A and B are shown apart, each in its own frame.
Chain A
């Protein structure tokens, strides 16, 4: 079972590495969206500081959405998804492998580039650390919850738009508590702790439920 998980994870990473533009597009999208705001609202330190946490999170949500549509679509088109449904391994495990690959390719780069973005918004050091941590816990939730939407809208015409309408509202709690964690860390780092607990709870919950829900949705989509 572990071997199947790893081999599928490795396959998705290899595929992404052979089409590097897809990965880079997501990252550049994130960087550009975040960098546009200072141009629009001016470089006033106080304003940027206040906007920073929210802007970074919104951009992270949108960047995560961007690659979501392709999460199952490519496998659906060439028939490999059909084969994934017909293995001896639980489908939810295989879904989890695909979601892990999605996060490693879209979530992790965002986490790693966060300190640079933080500096752009004059965030204090404590807030930057909090932002990295919050993104580290929060972005996997985005990938996991997004997978349900991607599975539900698989094979639909105009599925991309529907996917955003379906999934973005579900991202709201992560946005609220993720941005909250960063803002709370402005003064004392300890104050952001409750936010992290909540984000952690979201992660555990979605780790357990999202693969099962996505697997069920995939079976329906492929009928």
Chain B
């Protein structure tokens, strides 16, 4: 479903990786591993199309993501280092806008249910800037509950989450993969899957520099 051919990325003068290639089928979890500065985030951003790789192509369902453009973005859910939520808006408002932009038709009850599922009962109506780091992250991750996108790209989704939330997120990812979805994530911890396959990608090390 997702095919990466001869990919090379560069950040400034430093070549992060080159000749990277892999193919992912539905129902696979790709666990990208590597030390700090090995290019995990860069790879994920390139896979989203946010970053133009130096070389190589990325194909989604057989077509280059550059030509697919917004069509590809519709199949994609990206969760980056920044939560992508507005501090002045409440959890419900944030989630409603995210869902509308994702193109999902969702009624208000579903939004409340999604936030409740993320363990945010009682915090739905508060501006998210009043919430703790972990709670903000939970609001942002509530998109995963509602999402119908087949491809999830998650960059360090487990940071700042407590034990319960980690288990919840693991369940969400496992369900997604179970349902034939694709998930790509970077994390320093293991994700146990109930079913589906885990592929691992170790990005070349040898760089000690951290950002």
Name A residues whose Cβ lies closer than 8 Å to a Cβ of B: 3-4, 7-8, 11, 14-15, 18-19, 77-80, 82-91, 94, 222-223
Contact = CB atoms under 8 A, between A and B. Distances in A.
B97 A19 contact: no
Nearest to B140: A79
B64 to A, nearest CB: 16
Closest 9 CB pairs of A and B: A79-B82, A88-B74, A79-B84, A7-B100, A83-B84, A87-B101, A18-B88, A86-B73, A80-B84
B123 interface: no
Contacts of A19: 88
Interface residues of B toward A: which range?
Answer: 20 to 34
Interface stretch (B16-24, B27-35, B46-54, B183-191): B46-54
B103 A82 contact: no
Contact of A78 (B84, B97, B101): B84
A222 B52 CA distance: 11
A18 B96 CA distance: 18
A139 B94 CA distance: 30
A77 B81 CA distance: 11
Contact of B86 (A78, A86, A87, A94): A78
A7 B71 CA distance: 20
Interface in B39-66: 48-52
A11 B70 contact: no
A19 B127 CA distance: 13
Given A14-B93, A88-B103, A82 B82 contact: yes
